[in-house]
Each structure stands twice: as C-alpha cells, then as structure tokens.
Chain A
C-alpha cells in the first residue's frame, strides 16, 4: 500500500517570501509519479506540478519547484515570491506507473496562508 505523509498542517508566509512544504511517501514501487495539487476555497483541485520518478531533474513550474529525493522518499514543494492567490490547501499525491486506473493517494494536506 502507498502512504503519503504531510507533517505540516498549516504554514504562514509573508507575501513575496518563500515557503517550503514537506511530503514523504512510502512505496515499494520503483517507478511512479508524484504531484502537488492546490485546493483553494473554491474546492477545485488544481495541478501545481508533476514529477516522474524516473527523472532525476526536479520539476519546475514558474514560481513552484520541487526537491525530489527518491532514496529518501521525499518530495517537497517550494513556492517562491508567494502571492496572495497562493493561499490554499496543498496536497501531495502519489500514483503508480504501471497499469490502468491508478488511483491518486494523497496526504492530509498543508494549509498555506499568504499574509499581506
């Protein structure tokens, strides 16, 4: 079974500053995908960034970047130059590579609050 752990229930950051969210996971799979999704009060889960486990290079999307440490099974998200619109719940998620219909396994989320 896959488990995803987010140990920070809530984090606050000043506008324009940087915040890092931690995520660890447990799996026996060798190939898989990792995601960060953002869920604002509107409820919709929005993809922030995606990482393929077979790629050593860390994924980056504009102000969002990850630090993927496969051996440590760690997948942290860094939000640079935080903006008020970044305020949301952030979920780390794991998905197996092989087979169809692979379910997303999510952590319990980290609430990010960007302060003006």
Chain B
C-alpha cells in the first residue's frame, strides 16, 4: 500500500512569511509524529497526534509553530513568521498507534528560509 507522503518536497520562503507543510499518513495509522532534522543531525521531536488530538506538543520550539490533524488522517504543520533558524528538513512519521509500533517515515519537506 501507499506509504507516508509529504508535500511540498521543497519549500523556499522569505523570512517573516508563513508556511504550511502537509503530511498524509499510511491509511489506518492513528499515530502521527512530526520531527525536524537540521543539517547533519538526528531527529528533533516536534509533536505527536493520536487521532485528531495532540497529547504531546512538548517539542514545538516556539508559539510560531502549530499543527493540526483532521479526520484522523492528514496533518498540517504551520510555521508563522519564519526565521532562518527554521531551515531544516521536516519529517513526518506514522504508526498503527499501539505502544511499541514501528514508525514509518515520509520523504520529508526541505524548508529553506532566506
């Protein structure tokens, strides 16, 4: 079946603009995660959804970052008033939703803030 998809693949924006990143998880997966990966680094957790609710938003770096998930499926990560330090690859992962389930990743969105 289809894997996790993300769009856009690449996004270049100017400092101060808002951006929206989209994630479409594997069908039937109730858990959805957003991570950020800066150049040459590992993963930085941003937010976790179980269904449409976000029990853990602890990783969002500032109030400029927000995310929502609708219909238990697609999720959108929004970054307002982008800053150069927001430049990174944003990865989305989904899992069936039970403890210990493997997370499956999308191809990521590379965000460049000029």
Interface residues of A (CB under 8 A from B): 4, 33, 35, 37, 42-47, 50, 52, 91, 93, 95, 97-109
Contacts and interface: CB of A to CB of B under 8 A. Distances in A.
Nearest to B30: A100
Interface of B: 31, 33, 35, 40-43, 45, 48, 50, 55-56, 59, 89, 91, 93, 97-100, 102-108, 110
Given A98-B99, A102-B99, A106-B43, A44 B107 contact: yes
Contact of B108 (A4, A43, A91): A43
A23 B51 CA distance: 33
A55 to B, nearest CB: 12
A56 B43 CA distance: 28
Contacts of A42: 107
A68 to B, nearest CB: 16
A108 B42 contact: yes
Contacts of B103: 95, 104
B100 A45 contact: no
A44 B43 contact: no
